[in-house]
Structure 1
Amino acid sequence: MDMNQYLDIFIEESKEHLQNMNQILLQMENDPEEISKLNEIFRIAHTLKGMASTMGFQNLARLTHEMESALHLVRSGELKMSTSIIDLLFLCFDELEGYIGEIESNGVEGENTSSEIVKKLEDLRLKGTVSKEAPPKAEAKEFNQEKMNLQLDEYVHSVIKKALQQELNAYFIKITLDKKCMLKSARAYIIINNLEKLTEIVHSNPSIEDIEDERFDLSFELVVVTKSDNSILKKELSNIPEIESIEIIDLKGNIIVKEEKEREIAPNELLHENSIVEQQLTNKAADESKGRKAKTGKTVRVDIDRLDNLMNLVSELIIIKTRLEDIDDSGNGQSMHEAIEYLERITTSLHDAVMKVRMVPIERVFNRFPRMVRDLAKDLGKEISLIMKGEETEVDRTVIDEIGDPLIHLIRNSIDHGIEEPDVRLVAGKSKNGTVKLIAYPDGNSVVIEVEDDGKGIDIDRVKAKGIERGLITQQQSLIMDDIEAINLLFNPGFSTVNKITDISGRGVGLDVVKTKIESLGGVVEVDNRRGEGTKFIIRLPLTLAIIQALLVNVGPEKYAIPLNTIKEITTISQRTIRRVQNNEVVLYRNNTLPILRLSSLLQVEANQNEAEDYIVVIVKKGEKTAGIVVDHLIGQQEIVIKSLGKYLSNVKGIAGATILGNGSVALIVDTNSFF
């Protein structure tokens, strides 16, 4: 019987069970004697064991069986729940999460047998104690030549042989990223990009497409051909941060010799194989990528009432379709007008209903943070409580997928930089226990997420000093700079006020990542700093990234869409009032200096030669900042569907995407955030 048809269901249900397990374990730390929580963990382990056995995942089933046996002794009173047992259960949780991640990526549970953790569980069951010995190094970090032979097919072998004939070097490289690496695909891209300067990559496991889409764990393997020595490659890779280990094996005289003994290849055959190898490898990688995508389809659980509403609206569409057909026959103009108004109401309701189907609670993201805060607090020797509110706030599924990494950076930042050590807090008159608040709430057409701590706040003078040191500002600028401008220096790439680099922070790769990601989602980041009392980071995001309200404008022959949520107001400004200051156009507007930007210049479009006295200016905002954008004509407000420009045009400055208008023409969507 083919069990692959049930794989998606198995993965989804397993993730739900693990999410519940994580929450219960965190609660058990505060109340180890609560028997109901222990019973729930036992039930989850029992359910996962049955599911894994049914699907044929024996390593996963064995681990959950040992968990079940050990937990039974605690339930029966033969063992007393302790901190060491809870820590062991957390290790089991991490291992189970690893299994599910491997199954989701590759459809199999892998070769990990969890032997060290199973041994600890057996010791707990037989001896009543958790063994303290350090686990041996993971087998996955050691290379095995036989395994390499399995991974490299004959086409890769032929390329390597051809390279060796031309006196080039061939290496098998395994790179393992640091466990605390937040943006794996970005880090892997840097590694591959650096390698491609020195080598030709002939094979990748997983495929390059999967690595770009972050469909890999912490390690990936490459086979490269190069003129360079392996010491040069190692030196090049060693300069890249967030790499845990680099292992390079010279393939010359290794698997190649063995392959030649098995089969002799004629020179003309070798040339033929070498000519088709790149195409074959590309096809194979594409096939593997398609296979994985088929297995790991994204799903959203939908309330049945919302589906019923969708069904009713579709029924209404069918009715109005029939009505329009009848009107067409009769030629009644008044009836046609009424029918179109009715159709407009239905499509608006249908749009709202579909948006609600796409909306999921932000709880999905928030649930990962209690465990992270617990582990970081233990590592840093701090006592920290995480308070979460508004988990039921709903946002678009695409936002849910993207918001996780920025929040991780902000929470780590609060724990490491913001909250002081317990003794320092007591001296400052604070409680020994620090607090991080994670709050979400809807605000009009936006959702707001706040990350707040009660730590020492941001030292503005230290930020300015660091800015001067890095050449971002001058001494004179630092004297006239206000606190908001100084805090914005923190969002520069590589900026860090910490002198000591740790596993958690100090490399300056945090807040610039947050700003870039949030702005790519059409949102903004604001900072509320209170020296000695704490810091609050405020993220404001659009509810959905699919359909938005926009203002359509003309600049020369082109039409552009400006998102309505970025517009503060629309006004006219006389040409005579515009002044030039340091080669920039500004105007005094309502007793404030307003920068004037010409959309034609920003987007390199030929504007209409308009001799009118007044300019039409759309005033846009980003946090507390405002700017006036000069346009030729206003077309009007319209609901637009956002379309991506694709990978190759995704980095065009000033453009966030495109939309197709009613007449079939394309209008580009202006990214006003990039103008500040």
Structure 2
Amino acid sequence: MDMNQYLDIFIEESKEHLQSMNQILLQMENDTEEISKLNEIFRIAHTLKGMSSTMGYNNLAQLTHEMESALHLVRSGELKMSSGIIDLLFLCFDELDKYITEIEGSGTEGENTSQEIVKKLEDLRLNGINERTVETKYSIENNKLGIELNEYVHSVIKKALQQELNAYFVKITLDSKCMLKSARAYIIINSLEKLTEIVHSNPSIEDIEDERFDLSFELIVITKSDNKILERELKSISEIENIEITSLEENYSIKNVENNDISINDSLEDDGVTENVIASKSDEGKSKKAKTGKTVRVDIDRLDNLMNLVSELIIIKTRLEDIDDSGNGQSMHEAIEYLERITTSLHDAVMKVRMVPIERVFNRFPRMVRDLAKDLGKEISLIMSGEETEVDRTVIDEIGDPLIHLIRNSIDHGVEEPEVRLMAGKPKNGTVKLIAYPDGNSVVIEVEDDGKGIDIEKVKAKGIERGLITLQQSQIMDDSEAINLLFNPGFSTVNKITDISGRGVGLDVVKTKIESLGGVVEVDNRKGEGTKFIIRLPLTLAIIQALLINVGPEKYAIPLNTIKEITTISADTIRKVQNNEVVLYRNNTLPILRLSNLLQVDANHQDSDDYIVVIVKKGEKTAGIIVDHLIGQQEIVIKSLGKYLSNVKAIAGATILGNGSVALIVDTNSFFRG
């Protein structure tokens, strides 16, 4: 029997079971005595065992079988539930998640047999568990290099060596006559990144880029290449006095202090440091990728509504055919109105079918917060609300990474250490809130912490140091303008960037991703009290309300959710300030942009006394766009321009109008960049 036809169902149901397991394990940490939660974990393991056996995934089935056997002893009272057992179950969860990810990508469970974790489960059944065995302690033997690495880098190195990759310590010493150290270091790092993944840098990459180092710097890299290839690549670069490349496998042995089998959590989820190299290694000889599709689970009532609307479409089609034969103009008009109502309802129904709860994204974060808080020695509670808020499936697929960046920043650099919080009169336990709610045609997601907030003066000082603003500009800019500096690539106010995050590092990625989805990011900062990042996204990316306008002979569409108002202004009220056109509008300075100049189109308004101005917004900022004529509001279907035209400035896509002509969609966000 060909089981591939059931692959999508297996993957979808397995993901749901793992999601439930993750949530239950997090709850069990707070209440190890709750027997109902233990029974639920047992049931999930039993179900996964049966499903994987049926599909022929024997390694996955063996792991879940051992989980089931170990959990049976806890249920029967022969073993007492403890934090050590919960940590072991988390290891099992990570391993199961790896299996499902591998199956989704290749259709096979790969070569991993999970023997280490299976043995730990067997030992648990036979000998119980020693609480000390779940601690991740390390010793470094034969360390001749004299460098200090944190637990995260240890984990990456061990993972790489297990995957038969090479891990090297690289020390570069530049020539004493080198004039531009940072530029030379950039060339070196760029050359290494073509062959390796850099997992550790001393000093940090940011310090190297800012030339805050002497003549030498040290890197730890993971690669498929051997040291001779790296050395050859580096020797081709001038102004290098000395190159040292040392294999970590030969100089290190990383092992558990207690000399037992519980070792570090090998899961590198969300960190992605060695994923590219490891993935390319494991792809060698991989079987043809199985075909798996994206799926959306739909309530049957929504499908019934969709079927009813399609039935009405068939009825109106027959009615139109009959009217065509009779030539009755009044009946035709009525039929078209009826058809318009049906198509609007059909559109709403299809949109609801595409909508999924944002809970799908939110559910991954409690585990992430738990792990990060443990790593950092902080006590942090994650409060989530609005998980039932629905957004388009496309948005769901894209919003995860930006939220990961924001939550990590809140945990690492927003929320203070427990002792610092107590000294500031705050509760020892920090809080991160993740809230979603609908707001008109948008969905709002807020990431809020009760930490120390953003130090505005420190941000300004960093902006001056990096040459982004002048001292004079820093003195007149308001807080919101200063906070916007954080969204510059690589901008950070911390002196030492951790492996988890750096305040500002990654925020440029957040901004770029959100704007590519047609959304905006705003920041509400309260120094000493906390920071709130507000993401505003459109409900759907496929069909939107837009204002159609003319500029010269061309038609353009401006998304309605970006328009604040439409007005007319007199040509003689426009003034030039620093070569930019502005007008005083409602006691505020309004920048004026001529769409004809931005899009390089001949306009018809050049000799007019009054201009039609569409005022667009992005957060608190506004700008006025001069157009020739207003055509009217219309519902449009967004079409991509394709990868070759994806970088065209000021254009977000295109739409096909009723007469078959094409209108380009204006990207108003681009008017506010820089």
- Normalised by the length of structure 2, the TM-score is 0.80
Is 1:377 matched with 2:373?
yes
Q: Distance in 1 between matches of 2:276 and 2:318?
A: 67
Contact 1:494–1:507 (CA under 8 A) maintained in structure 2: no
Match of 2:513, SS? helix
* Aligned positions of 1:478-627 closer than 5 A: 478-506=474-502, 508-608=504-604, 610-627=606-623
Q: Distance in 2 between matches of 1:491 and 1:498?
A: 15
Match of 2:22, SS? helix
Q: Which runs of 5+ in 2 are unaligned?
A: 139-154, 167-193, 201-221, 238-242, 247-270, 279-283
For 1:254, the equivalent position in structure 2 comes to: none
Contact 1:594–1:626 (CA under 8 A) maintained in structure 2: yes
Letter of the 1:662 partner, please give it.
G
Superposition deviation, residue 610 in structure 1: 3.9
Q: Distance in 2 between matches of 1:133 and 1:30?
A: 18
Match of 1:229, SS? helix
For 1:94, the equivalent position in structure 2 comes to: 94
Residues 539 and 246 from structure 1, CA distance in 2 versus in 1: closer, same or farther, beyond 3 angstroms? closer
Is 1:61 matched with 2:61?
yes
Superposition deviation, residue 385 in structure 1: 0.2
* Aligned positions of 1:269-348 closer than 5 A: 292=289, 295-348=291-344
CA deviation profile, 1:95-143 (whole Å, cap 9, x unmatched): 0000000000000000111111111111111001155597994587444
Residues 247 and 587 from structure 1, CA distance in 2 versus in 1: closer, same or farther, beyond 3 angstroms? closer
Match of 2:452, SS? coil
Is 1:457 matched with 2:453?
yes
Q: Distance in 1 between matches of 2:17 and 2:382?
A: 22
Q: Distance in 2 between matches of 1:551 and 1:606?
A: 20
Q: Distance in 2 between matches of 1:311 and 1:89?
A: 45
CA deviation profile, 1:581-611 (whole Å, cap 9, x unmatched): 0000000001000000000111111212542
Contact 2:567–2:614 (CA under 8 A) maintained in structure 1: yes
Identity rate, percent = 84
Q: How many residues align?
A: 570
Q: Distance in 2 between matches of 1:487 and 1:139?
A: 38
Q: Distance in 2 between matches of 1:25 and 1:246?
A: 30
- Normalised by the length of structure 1, the TM-score is 0.80
Is 1:8 matched with 2:11?
no
Contact 1:552–1:637 (CA under 8 A) maintained in structure 2: yes
Contact 1:175–1:243 (CA under 8 A) maintained in structure 2: no
Q: Which runs of 5+ in 1 are unaligned?
A: 146-172, 180-218, 249-283
Contact 2:21–2:41 (CA under 8 A) maintained in structure 1: yes
Is 1:229 matched with 2:229?
no
Contact 2:383–2:431 (CA under 8 A) maintained in structure 1: yes
Letter of the 1:32 partner, please give it.
T
Q: Distance in 1 between matches of 2:277 and 2:342?
A: 61
Residues 617 and 86 from structure 1, CA distance in 2 versus in 1: closer, same or farther, beyond 3 angstroms? same
Contact 2:405–2:501 (CA under 8 A) maintained in structure 1: no
Q: Distance in 1 between matches of 2:230 and 2:567?
A: 63
- Choose the corresponding residue for 1:354, options 350, 354, 357: 350
Q: Distance in 2 between matches of 1:53 and 1:322?
A: 52
* Aligned positions of 1:588-667 closer than 5 A: 588-608=584-604, 610-667=606-663
Is 1:77 matched with 2:73?
no
Superposition deviation, residue 650 in structure 1: 1.0
Contact 1:176–1:244 (CA under 8 A) maintained in structure 2: yes
Contact 2:88–2:134 (CA under 8 A) maintained in structure 1: no
Residues 91 and 177 from structure 1, CA distance in 2 versus in 1: closer, same or farther, beyond 3 angstroms? farther
For 1:437, the equivalent position in structure 2 comes to: 433
Q: Distance in 1 between matches of 2:472 and 2:585?
A: 27
Letter of the 1:71 partner, please give it.
L
Q: Distance in 2 between matches of 1:441 and 1:220?
A: 44
Match of 2:643, SS? coil
What RMSD over aligned residues (CA atoms) do the two structures have, in Å? 3.0
For 2:419, the equivalent position in structure 1 comes to: 423
Which stretch shifts more, 41-50 or 123-132?
Answer: 123-132
Contact 1:18–1:93 (CA under 8 A) maintained in structure 2: yes
Residues 650 and 174 from structure 1, CA distance in 2 versus in 1: closer, same or farther, beyond 3 angstroms? same
For 1:19, the equivalent position in structure 2 comes to: 19
CA deviation profile, 1:24-67 (whole Å, cap 9, x unmatched): 00000010100000000000001101111111111111111111
Letter of the 1:110 partner, please give it.
G
Q: Distance in 2 between matches of 1:244 and 1:508?
A: 23
Letter of the 1:38 partner, please give it.
L
* Aligned positions of 1:18-167 closer than 5 A: 18-129=18-129, 131=133, 137-138=158-159, 141-143=162-164
Contact 1:579–1:586 (CA under 8 A) maintained in structure 2: yes
Q: Distance in 2 between matches of 1:122 and 1:233?
A: 53
Q: Distance in 2 between matches of 1:491 and 1:230?
A: 34
Residues 555 and 221 from structure 1, CA distance in 2 versus in 1: closer, same or farther, beyond 3 angstroms? farther
Match of 2:634, SS? strand
For 2:151, the equivalent position in structure 1 comes to: none
Letter of the 2:401 partner, please give it.
D
Q: Distance in 1 between matches of 2:596 and 2:22?
A: 54
Q: Distance in 2 between matches of 1:11 and 1:479?
A: 56
Contact 2:605–2:611 (CA under 8 A) maintained in structure 1: no
Q: Distance in 2 between matches of 1:430 and 1:78?
A: 43
For 1:403, the equivalent position in structure 2 comes to: 399
Q: Distance in 2 between matches of 1:308 and 1:413?
A: 44
CA deviation profile, 1:488-541 (whole Å, cap 9, x unmatched): 000011100111121112385311011000011110111111111111111100
